[in-house]
Structure 1
Amino acid sequence: MVKKILFFIVFIQPLLMIAQQDYFTFKNNQKKIFVEFDNSGGLIIVPIELNGTKLNFMLDTGASKNIIYNLNGIDSLEIKKGKQFKLKGYGNRNGVNAYVSDNNVLKLGDYVNEQARIFILAEEQLSLFNFIGVEINGVIGASFFKNAVVKIDYEKNYITLTQDIKYLRGLRRYDSIPIQLSSGKPYIKSEIVEADNSYNADVLIDTGSNDALWINKRPQQFKIPEKNFYDFLGFGLNGEISGYRTKLDQLNFGSFNLQRITSSFPDIKESKLLNSKNLLSSIGAEVLKRFFLILDYRNNTIYLQNTRKYRDGFYYNMSGITAKLGKREIFYSYESKAENGYGNEVDAQLIQLDKPEYDIVQIPGIYIDQIRVNSEAEKAGLQVGDQIVKINGRSFPYLTLNEVNDFFYTNPHSTIRITIKRNGKQKRYKFKLIPLID
Structure 2
Amino acid sequence: MICYDNISFKLPNFYRKLLLSVFLLFSGLNAFSQYQFQIKENKSQFTMPFEFNRNLIILPVYINDKGPFNFILDSGVSIVLITNPSLKDSLNLQLGRQVTIKGLGEGDDLIAQIVTGMNMSIGKAECPIMAGAILPKDILDLTSYVGMPVFGIIGYDFFSSFVVKINYVNQVITVFNSDEFKPPRKCKPIPLLIENQRAYVFADVIMKDNTSVKTKLIIDTGAGHPVSLEPSTNPAIKVPDSTLSAFLGRGLSGPIDGHIGRIKHLAFSDIEVNNVITSFPNHNDVTAKVLANNRNGNIGNDLLKRFTVIFDYQRSQMFLKPNAYFNLPFEHDMSGLELITSSKDSRRYFVSLVQPGSPADQAGLQKDDEIISINLRPVSEMPVSEVDNLLRSKDNRGLLIQFHRKNTTGSNYVVLTLKRRV
TM range (shorter): 0.7 to 0.9
Match of 1:13 among 25, 39, 55: 25
Match of 1:46 among 38, 47, 59: 59
Could you give the per-residue CA deviations for residues 277-311 of structure 1, whole angstroms, max 9, x where no partner exists? 34421011111111110001111110001123334
- Secondary structure in 2 aligned to 1:81? strand
Residue 236 in structure 1 maps to residue 251 in structure 2: yes
Aligned match of 1:405: 388
Verify the 8 A CA contact 2:63 2:118 in the aligned structure 1.
yes
Aligned match of 2:414: 429
Please list, as runs of the form range in 1=range in 2, the aligned pairs for 1:327-338 lying within 5 A after superposition.
none
Give 1:367 deviation, angstroms: 2.1
- Secondary structure in 1 aligned to 2:388? helix
Counterpart-to-counterpart distance in 2, 1:35 and 1:228: 40
Please list, as runs of the form range in 1=range in 2, the aligned pairs for 1:139-218 lying within 5 A after superposition.
139-164=153-178, 171-194=184-207, 195-216=209-230, 217-218=232-233
Give the alignment's TM-score, normalised by structure 2. Answer: 0.88
Match of 1:308 among 295, 304, 324: 324
Please list, as runs of the form range in 1=range in 2, the aligned pairs for 1:23-422 lying within 5 A after superposition.
23-54=36-67, 55-72=69-86, 76-122=90-136, 125-164=139-178, 171-194=184-207, 195-216=209-230, 217-269=232-284, 272-325=288-341, 365-422=348-405
Aligned match of 1:336: none
Q: Name the aligned partner's letter for residue 258 of structure 1.
A: V
Task: Identify if the C-alpha distance between structure 1 residues 312 and 192 changes in structure 2 by more than 3 Å, giving closer, same or farther.
Answer: farther
- Secondary structure in 1 aligned to 2:148? coil
Q: Name the aligned partner's letter for residue 224 of structure 2.
A: N
Give 1:378 deviation, angstroms: 2.0
Verify the 8 A CA contact 1:245 1:265 in the aligned structure 2.
yes
Give 1:72 deviation, angstroms: 4.8
- Secondary structure in 1 aligned to 2:390? helix
Give 1:203 deviation, angstroms: 0.9
Verify the 8 A CA contact 2:72 2:222 in the aligned structure 1.
yes
Deviates more, 1:375-384 or 1:238-247: 375-384
Verify the 8 A CA contact 1:318 1:412 in the aligned structure 2.
yes
Q: Name the aligned partner's letter for residue 292 of structure 1.
A: T
Deviates more, 1:404-413 or 1:109-118: 404-413
Give 1:314 deviation, angstroms: 3.4
Give 1:326 deviation, angstroms: 5.1
Verify the 8 A CA contact 1:273 1:279 in the aligned structure 2.
no
Structure 2, unaligned runs of 5 or more: 1-13
Verify the 8 A CA contact 1:40 1:134 in the aligned structure 2.
no
Give 1:238 deviation, angstroms: 1.1
Corresponding residue pairs, total: 401
Deviates more, 1:232-241 or 1:49-58: 49-58
Question: Which runs of at least 4 in structure 1 moved beyond 6 Å after TM superposition?
Answer: none
Q: Name the aligned partner's letter for residue 44 of structure 1.
A: I
Counterpart-to-counterpart distance in 2, 1:403 and 1:75: 36
% same residue: 26
Give the alignment's TM-score, normalised by structure 1. Answer: 0.85
Q: Name the aligned partner's letter for residue 69 of structure 1.
A: T
Give 1:167 deviation, angstroms: 5.0
Deviates more, 1:388-397 or 1:188-197: 388-397
Counterpart-to-counterpart distance in 1, 2:64 and 2:139: 20
Q: Name the aligned partner's letter for residue 376 of structure 1.
A: P
Counterpart-to-counterpart distance in 2, 1:278 and 1:145: 22
Task: Identify if the C-alpha distance between structure 1 residues 394 and 252 changes in structure 2 by more than 3 Å, giving closer, same or farther.
Answer: farther
Give 1:404 deviation, angstroms: 1.1
Counterpart-to-counterpart distance in 1, 2:85 and 2:70: 10
- Secondary structure in 2 aligned to 1:316? coil
- Secondary structure in 2 aligned to 1:425? coil
Q: Name the aligned partner's letter for residue 12 of structure 1.
A: L
Q: Name the aligned partner's letter for residue 68 of structure 1.
A: I
- Secondary structure in 1 aligned to 2:303? helix
Verify the 8 A CA contact 1:97 1:123 in the aligned structure 2.
no
CA RMSD of aligned residues (A): 2.4
Counterpart-to-counterpart distance in 1, 2:381 and 2:416: 22
Aligned match of 1:341: none
Counterpart-to-counterpart distance in 1, 2:309 and 2:117: 31
Counterpart-to-counterpart distance in 2, 1:140 and 1:389: 34
Counterpart-to-counterpart distance in 2, 1:413 and 1:253: 35
Verify the 8 A CA contact 1:100 1:120 in the aligned structure 2.
yes
Counterpart-to-counterpart distance in 2, 1:363 and 1:293: 33
Could you give the per-residue CA deviations for residues 206-265 of structure 1, whole angstroms, max 9, x where no partner exists? 011111211124421332110012221111111111112211111112211112211112
Task: Identify if the C-alpha distance between structure 1 residues 2 and 72 changes in structure 2 by more than 3 Å, giving closer, same or farther.
Answer: farther
Verify the 8 A CA contact 1:2 1:405 in the aligned structure 2.
no
